[in-house]
Amino acid sequence: MSLPAPTPLRIAIAGASGRMGRMLVEAVLAAPDAVLAGALDVPDSPALGQDAGAALGAITGVRVTSDLRAGLANAQVLIDFTRPEGTLAHLAACRELGVRMVIGTTGFSEAQKARIADAATQIAIMMAPNMSVGVNAVLELLARAARMLNHGFDIEVIEAHHRHKVDAPSGTALKMGEVLADALGRRLDECAVYAREGVTGPRDPSTIGFSTIRGGDIIGDHTVLFAGDGERIEITHKSTSRVTYAQGSLHAARYIVQQASGLHDMSDVLGLRA
């Protein structure tokens, strides 16, 4: 006797008509173990009322809506790559309805992060500034490199993104800085340098510098430079497609639906937690 087919994971997408939202919708439609259960967008979106797959030439039967309750009614997990204010509104609805979240939004303040952590006492949340498996592998490499190069090397984080990105440095760059600072026994908020202009004096060797580039359609490039006397080491990740973020988000959704509560990150999803 054949076993019944497993019930597909019911996923809702926030910002469904945006660049990342469309990529996420496409990824869910292509996944054999998932189904699109909801599609959210802002009240003034021209996509409201349209089928969520219209831009892809697909019929999903799911209409884009700004009604959070309607959009989340059948969902187990919401994947959210929007703006901090929008994500926090979605957070409140998910907390009330018991819907788990995968958050890829960046640019949160410390107070906003605290609200997410508080909600995670009731629902399971996976939050990461970058869902790419490759980026998270780089984070592991950076921690090891920082411990090995903790004397005689200056550290700089250089990131580049498209002209439409509104926060800087990127969430991924900041996460890299946090990993580096932690490996060196420092606090990023005490050693980060985000801008240099004019006569700045000699470089403080205990600092971690950040440089930001915005232009064109760059999806996301990140380089950490370890600059010593007579040698330089660079660890670089370049994104050529948002598909890696979408696939990582699906991987995270499969993980988080199995959790009752708590704030998780990609180290948990990928089994990298020591």
The three state secondary structure string of 216-264 is CCCCEEEEEEEEECCEEEEEEEEECCCHHHHHHHHHHHHHHCCCCCEEE
Dihedrals phi, psi of 77, to nearest 5 degrees: -140, 140
Q: pLDDT per residue over 221-251, tens digit each?
A: 999 999 999 999 999 999 998 899 999 999 9
Q: How many residues in total does the chain contain?
A: 274
In this structure, the strands spanning 192-193 and 231-239 are unpaired
Residues forming CATH 3.40.50.720 domain(s) in the chain: 9-127+242-269
User: Whole-model pTM?
Assistant: 0.82
pLDDT digits (tens, 9 = 90+) for 37-73: 999 999 999 999 999 999 899 999 999 999 999 999 9
Half-sphere exposure of residue 68, counting CA atoms within 13 Å on the CB side? 17
Question: Among the options 113, 162, 164, 165, which is catalytic?
Answer: 165
Mean pLDDT over each residue of the chain, to the nearest integer: 94
Q: What is the spatial distance between Cα 188 and Cα 171, in angstroms, rounded to a whole number?
A: 13
The correct answer on CATH 3.30.360.10 for the domain covering 133-239 is: yes
CA nearest neighbour of 124 among 95, 104, 92: 95
Q: CA-CA distance, 64 to 70, in Å (whole number)? A: 10
Q: For position 242, what pLDDT does the model report?
A: 86
| Residue found by looking up tokens 């950490």 in the block | 224
161 is an active site residue: yes
- Residue 33 has what DSSP assignment? T
- Residue 42 CA from chain centroid, whole number: 20
Residues of the chain scoring pLDDT < 50: none
The pLDDT of residue 274: 58
Q: Per the residue annotation, which of 161, 222, 237, 264 is the catalytic one?
A: 161
How far apart are the C-alpha atoms of 34 and 17, rounded to whole Å?
Answer: 19
Structure tokens at 201: 């004096």
Question: Pick from 225, 206, 217: which is nearest to 158 by CA?
Answer: 225
Can you tell me the distance from the alpha carbon of 54 to that of 147, in angstroms, rounded to the nearest whole number?
Answer: 49
The pair phi, psi for residue 50, each rounded to 5°, is: -80, 160
Name the segment(s) of the chain with CATH classification 3.30.360.10: 133-239
CATH class in words for 9-127+242-269:
alpha beta
Q: Give the largest CA-CA distance in the chain.
A: 78
Question: Any catalytic annotation for residue 165?
Answer: yes
CB neighbourhood size of 236 (10 A): 11
Q: For residues 274 and 202, what is the distance between their CA atoms, to the nearest angstrom?
A: 38
